[in-house]
Structure 1
Amino acid sequence: MNNEVLFSVIIPTYNRGNYLKKAILSVINQEYENWELLIIDDGSTDNTNHIVSQFKDPRIKYFYKQNEERSIARNFGIQNAQGEYICFLDSDDVFYSNHLSVLYKNIQLREFPEGMFHTQIIKNIKGENKKENWFRGLNNKEVVEKLIQGKALYMNGICISKRLFEREFFPSQFSYWEDQHLWIRLLKDHSFFSIDDITSQWNIGKDNSTFDIFKKRSLKKLDKYLGCIDHLEKDLMSKGKLMSKDKIDFLNLKLKKASVFIEIQPKYYFLNLKQFIICSKYINSKELLKLYFKLFKKGIRE
């Protein structure tokens, strides 16, 4: 194989030293060898530095910075990347050994386009594997529709031409749904290339950061989550990129995500009121009251 393309793999991490070694090894063990790995340590206080220092591969670059959440960490990695194509890997997940070789084959086949490539992933939930292929064979318009309807493009399967980041980055003010925010903006203007091969594994367990978002529900997270969705909706609207159907889907998406965080607890009226006030910033009162009534009836039945 003629290694013509340099891939930059970005791993943002925060106090994940116990998981990080497997993620790094999964990059080192790639069949395709022309890569650089940027580990962005977002202010860890554990043994992350020590774990990284054990690897002597010159292709591994370690950056330590103050804790500013993962959007800023990923943007920092993008800004320091030298590769023509950017890949992302969360610190508790792994690439299979074919990840970069599959990407290279497909990029070469399409004559090195500017766009977003997506490989299939295995979702590992506490040891049980499940294949996720919601976006298999779809074009960029179809993918955007699914994203606004609530499906998610997982980070580990994404590879993007670096030139797309000349104007677009992860929204630095958000750390929930921030990746989908960026994907939708990019796909409104650029091509999506679906690849059938399974090349990575997303590990979901009690210590997984995405799992924690929903397990540890809080008013702050509810506000940030809905705020990110609302911010994207307004951004697309201001640029004339929002269709009438999209507006309905955005509303349904907000209601869907809000319902995950809202807990109707008759004994805690103050908490219920706070939840309602936060939601009302992003969802009109009529639709919000319908949601609360639906959840209240569900609570009674249970």
Structure 2
Amino acid sequence: MTNKKDELFVSIIIPTYNRANLITRAINSILDQSYTNYEIIVVDDGSTDNTKEVIQRFNEDKINYYVHKKNRGAAAARNTGIKYSKGDFIAFQDSDDKWLPEKLEKEMDVFLEASDKIGVVYSGYWHIKDNKKIYIPTPKVTKKEGNIHFELLKGNFVSGLSVIRKICFKKVGLYDENLPNLEDWELYIRISKYFSFKFIDEPLSIAYCSSDSASINYSKNLKSSEIILKKHFADFNDNKEILAVNKANIGIYAFLNGDESKSRKYLMDAIRYNPLNIKYWLLYLVSFIQKKYYNIFLNVFFTLRKY
């Protein structure tokens, strides 16, 4: 008798760029999964290292390897993977991260029982930076599943290592290739307008924040945040507090990117939309001091922060 789960074929997409030294760990963590009904699609986004040789060493029929002739960004690489995918479910793995052995099985178990309204299943994960281990999403996120569109407008808490029904992409489109970063968040904002999310509250993957991680590229985060704010302004503008949060975030990225003038402009916008939030006033005032002290304040700000 065929197990229904065997019918749920998953295409696992790994975009990579010059990560030959890390991608073996990422792929091995997939090959070690208890759930085995999948294909792996590695999209090499114009690497100049020996990524191709590393992939060929696996000699694994489940792995399909595609190459961009030049670097086009993570969003484009993910879109190439979706284009070549055969599964009705799309999972994403970053080339510097690791899945725990039961991740995919537990997520597909949810899809097996879920209605078609569930478009995304995601789980908690360990975020490791500077030898510090943090569980994401934090308790500050008050609504983690169901209709989470409003919650997502405050900021992204859904791991990029999620599983998405392929039909979601047919409904809302692919990743926005104009975004140099934060493409996961922008996609989830679109998906959450039409589909519900399910959350597994346990760490099923490990995300490593390395020196070349996109998440710490302030320039890319600044540009992407501005694009997303403009693209979804109508949604943000429905709630002035949420609009203020996003204005403040852009102000922070601008300061960390060395643009104090732009930073203060956005922080003043945040104050205008939510003048009773003392943290925005403090961010504005602290922006006049040296960057090293600003970073200390930010650590406190994000520790105490509640959207």
Compute the TM-score of the two structures, normalised by the length of structure 2. Answer: 0.80
Calculate percent identity across the aligned residue pairs.
24
| Alignment of structure 1 residues 34-73 onto 2, 5 Å | 34-65=37-68, 66-73=70-77
Partner residue in 1 for 2:228: 229
User: 1:5 Cα deviation (Å)?
Assistant: 0.8
Mapping for residues 66-215 of structure 1, pairs under 5 Å: 66-110=70-114, 114-134=118-138, 138-141=144-147, 143-156=148-161, 158-167=162-171, 168-211=173-216, 213-214=217-218
Q: State the match for 1:268 in structure 2.
A: none
Q: Which residue of 1 aligns with 2:238?
A: 244
**Unaligned 5+ runs, structure 2:** 274-279, 294-307
1:139 to partner: Cα distance: 3.0
How many Å separate the matches in 1 of 2:61 and 2:268? 50
Task: Output one character per residue of 1:73-114: Cα deviation in whole Å (capped at 9) or x when no partner.
Answer: 111111111111111111000111101111121111225655
Q: Structure 2: which amino acid aligns with 1:86?
A: I
Change (3 A) 1:222 1:162: closer
| Residue aligned with 2:60, SS | coil
Shift of the 60–195 alpha-carbon distance from structure 1 to 2, 3 Å rule, reads same
Deviation at 1:226, TM superposition (A): 3.0
Tell me by how many angstroms 1:285 deviates. 9.8
- TM-score scaled by structure 1? 0.81
| Distance apart, 1:194 and its partner CA | 1.3
What residue in structure 2 maps to residue 294 of structure 1?
285
Q: Take 1:202 and 1:284, find their aligned partners in 2: how far apart are those partners?
A: 33
Partner of 2:19: 16
Alignment gaps of 5+ in structure 1: 266-270
Q: Cα distance, 1:297 vs. partner?
A: 5.1
Distance 1:40 1:94 in 2: 17
Q: 1:301 to 1:3 in 2, by over 3 A?
A: closer
Assess, with a 3 A threshold, how the Cα gap between structure 1 residues 131 and 98 changes in structure 2: closer, same or farther: same
Q: What code does the residue aligned with 1:189 have?
A: Y
Instruction: Tell whether 2:246 aligns with 1:253.
Output: yes
